[in-house]
Amino acid sequence: STRLCLLLLLVGVPALGLSVYASFRERRIEKRRLSEGSLALASLAAANQENFIRNTRQLFDTLDQFPFLLLSTNRAFSEAHLSNLRRLLPDYANFGLIETNGTVFCSAQASPRAVYLGDRSYFKRALRSKGFSIGDFQVGRLSGVMGLNFGFPVLDGQGRVVRVLYASLKVSRIAEALRDIPLPEGQALTVLDQDGTVLARQPDAEKWVGRPHPEAGALTHGVSHQGGLLETPGPDGVPRLYAVRAVGGEQAPAM
């Protein structure tokens, strides 16, 4: 589908990490300040992540203008062009073309053996919707790199899907973008896929990436499709305030 099945963004701060001796009014004011600041951070990070989606979609739209590449039956020819594309765009681990039966026709990361990608979510979504699609966290079977894949249907003259073009964005690139956002002490930014798997996090990325977020279910069901604020116990049992923002277009769900 055209929506991004990415959930963004969690900015977790102690919900009432305020002095128990503070007056109710002071706590309320402090909580409002934290809420506004967290939502602003989440919105900034969401806009940052949207750039990856927008750029990938624009890239697919451009490549769609070259049917001689996407519909070629010359594997070596297509691989050479996709390999050059990867060199030009190092944010991506791989580019490739998948036949409708799920087998890879060619990719920038060449392989001497047949590779099956028919079980990948971005492939299934592109076939089903006949539109731009976004997958989930994965380790590439060809590249061996952690990534988030995007799919795009290749159509013939009769409008039938004959292949799926894909691009694998490096998860490390998503993490690098988060590092450019300054965080107040005690806060964290986390990017999840639709299954609640962590794609990127600041800080402590190495402890989180590729793992399910323990609060994903509560967070995605506790806010609207666009996002919002939610107070819920964190993994440590301490009540925390989360600001959530969805990414991927007007129809992006919270999960």
pLDDT tens, position by position, 183-215: 777 778 888 887 888 888 888 888 889 998 877
Which amino acid type is present at position 85? L
Position 16 pLDDT exceeds 60: no
Residue type, 155: L
Tell me the CB-side half-sphere exposure of residue 127, using CA atoms within 13 A: 16
Q: Comparing C-alpha atoms, which of 227, 241, 249 is closest to residue 8?
A: 227
Share of residues in the chain with pLDDT > 70 (%): 76
197 and 210 Cβ atoms separated by less than 8 Å: yes
Average pLDDT, stretch 60-78? 95
pLDDT, mean of residues 86-109: 96
- Mean pLDDT computed over 70-84: 95
- Lowest-pLDDT range of 48-52, 144-148, 241-245: 241-245
Q: Kind and range of the H or E element at 10?
A: strand 6-14
In this predicted structure, the answer to whether residue 162 has a pLDDT above a threshold of 50 is yes
What secondary structure, in 3-state letters, does 94-133 show?
Answer: EEEEEECCCEEEEECCCCCCCCECCCCHHHHHHHHHCCCE
For residues 117 and 90, give the distance between their C-alpha atoms in angstroms, rounded to a whole number.
Answer: 22
For the segment 220-230, the average pLDDT, to the nearest whole number, is 65
At residue 154, the pLDDT reads: 97
Helix (H) or strand (E) run with residue 82 in it: helix 75-88
The pTM for the full model equals 0.82
pLDDT band at residue 30, thresholds of 50, 70 and 90? low
pLDDT at 253: 32
Quick one: pLDDT at residue 7? 40
pLDDT given at position 112 = 84
What pLDDT does 34 receive?
Answer: 63
Q: What is the pLDDT of residue 47?
A: 82
Quickly state the pLDDT bin for 170 (edges 50, 70, 90): very high
Alpha-carbon gap, residue 195 to 197, rounded angstroms: 6
Confidence of residue 235 (pLDDT cuts 50, 70, 90): low
The confidence score (pLDDT) of residue 10 equals: 43
- What pLDDT was estimated at residue 234? 66
What's the rounded Cα separation, in Å, for the pair 172 and 215?
A: 23
If pLDDT is split at 50, 70 and 90, which confidence band does 86 have? very high
**Mean pLDDT in residue range 39-66:** 88
- Give the chain's mean pLDDT: 80
Token digits of residue 63: 């490549």
The residues that bridge with 247 in the sheet, in sequence order, are 6
Residue 28 has pLDDT above 70, yes or no: no
- Extract the tokens encoding 174: 């998503």
